[in-house]
Amino acid sequence: MDKKISKIYSGLNGEITIPSDKSISHRAIIFSCLAEGTSVIKNFSNGKDPLTSLDICKKLGANIEFRDNLYITSTGKLTPSENTLYCGNSGTTMRLMTGILAGQNFNSILTGDESLSARPMKRIITPLSLMGAKIISNNEKAPLKIYGQNLNGIDYKSPIASAQVKSSVLLAGLFAQNKTTFTEPHISRNHTELMLKYMGADIATSGLSTSIFKSELIPQTFEIPGDISSAAYYITAALLIPKSKIILKNVGLNPTRTGILDVVQKMGGNIIILDKRNISGEDVGDIQISYSNLNGCTIEGEIIPRLIDEIPAIAVLATQAEGTTIIKDAQDLRNKESDRIKAIANELKKLQADIQETPDGLIIHGKKELEGGIEVDSHNDHRIAMSLYVAGLICKKEINIKNFEWVNISLPEFENLFDSLIL
C-alpha cells in the first residue's frame, strides 16, 4: 500500500491517548504464560508483533480470552501443541522465546519472515550456549532449532547494550541452576527486570548488572502504558509544524526509554511532563509538546540504548534544527528490520536533506527545507515508514511512501491519531 502525504499548514492541536507499549505488551503475555494461575492484561497492544507473541503463547499451552481485557490462564508449565513456532517480523518474540525455550524439556523451532531471518542471533546464541543451551542456527540466523537442556547460571558481560539480549539471558536464568548475572556496557530498557520483580522473581539490579535465580512467577494484573516509541512521531511532528500544541496521554516514562525527551530538551524543544505516576511498576505521564525552534546537538554514548528506536524520527527532527546534529555509537541500527542508518539517510536525501551516514550513525546539517514531490521507500520497516510520514507533513510538495502498510507492525492506529490532531 502506498501513502501520499502533504504539508500541514494548520498545525497539530488537541489530545490523544498513545496506544499501548509494544515492548511491555510482549513481556506481559509471555511472562504470564510462565505463571501458574490467571493474569489480566489491560490495554494490550494491537500491533502485529505483540499479536505474534500472543499466538505463540497459545501454541505453548496458555488459555487466552479477550473480554473487556486480556485474560491468560496457565499451569506455569509450557505444553506445546506444535514445535515449530512462527515469530513473524518480531525480533523481541524470537529472542525472548529462545531464552525461555532453551531450558524446557522439549525441542522447538523458531522461524520468522524474510526480514527477521536476516537478523543476527549470535548475540543470544553465545551466552545461552555458555549456559548449556543447544541451539542450531542457519549461519547464526533464524530458523533456530532449540533442543531443551538443563541450564546452569553464568556471569555474562555483554559487548552490547541490548534489552533483547539481556532479557533472553535473564529468562533462561529463570530455569537455570545457580545465579545468572548479566552485565551490559550501558543501561538498556529494563522492562524485563521490572516485570519479573513485579511477578515475584528472585531478581536484583546493581548498576549495570542484573542477577536472577531460578524462580516461579506469580500471576498479576498489568496495565500497559502508552508506547514512547510510538509517541516519538507525534512529538517530532508537533515540534516541527508551526502553530502546533498537543498533549499525549498515558505515555510510558521509564527512564531507560526517555532518551528522546532528553534530546528534545537539549535541542531546545518546548516539552512538559504532566501528571507523572507509577502503574504496574512503570512510570507513566502525559506529555505536552509545542512547536519550537530547535538547535542541533551531538547524540552519543550511554543515551543511545535509551532512544535506539527513535533515531529515524530524530533524524527528521534534525533536518529542521539550526546547525549540525551528529549521531554516534548507533551501529546496531544496521541490524534492525532494515539497515535504518542507510535507509533513513537515503530517503531523506531524496527530499533534499543534508544528511550523510557514518559507520555508526548520521551527520545532519540543518536547517534545510525538505522539497518532496517524489516517491520514498519504507524499506518494509515500520519506523522508517512513520518517520517519512512526519517528513511528508513538512515537505514543500507531496510525497508518496511505498509499502506504508508496515506501520501496522507496531501502530495500526497511526494515521487515525494524526488525523484527529489536524484541524
Here the cell at position 23 is: 515492548
What is the grid cell recorded at 285? 505521564
In the beta sheet, which residues pair with residue 54? none
CB 355 within 8 A of CB 348: yes
Separation of alpha carbons 223 and 225, rounded Å: 6
Query: Is 419 an annotated catalytic residue?
Result: no
Cα 80 to Cα 60: distance, rounded to the nearest angstrom: 4
Name 123's Cβ contacts closer than 8 Å, sequence gap at least 6.
160, 162, 165
Given 21, 227, 286, 309, the catalytic residue:
309
R_g of the chain, CA atoms, integer Å: 21
d(CA 195, CA 382) in angstroms, rounded, equals: 26
C-alpha cell at position 229: 516509541
Cα–Cα distance for residue pair 403/344, rounded to 1 Å: 15
Cell 531523506, residue located: 348
Residue 281 has a CB neighbour count (10 Å cut-off) of 18
* Helix pair 311-319, 228-240: axis angle to 10 deg: 10
Q: Where are the alpha helices (DSSP H) in 102-200?
A: 122-130, 163-173, 191-198
The answer to whether 100 and 34 have CB atoms below 8 angstroms apart is yes
Exposed (0-12), middle (13-18) or buried (19+): which is 192, by Cβ within 10 Å? Answer: buried
Query: Taking the C-alpha atoms of 393, 399, 400 and 403 in order, what is their torsion angle to the nearest 10 degrees?
Result: -50
The Cα-based distances of 239 to 12, 270, 296, 363, 394 in angstroms read: 10, 8, 14, 20, 11
- CB half-sphere exposure, 53, CA atoms < 13 A: 31
Q: Which residue has the cell 511532528?
A: 237
**Cβ–Cβ under 8 Å, residues 404 and 385:** yes
Residues involved in catalysis: 309
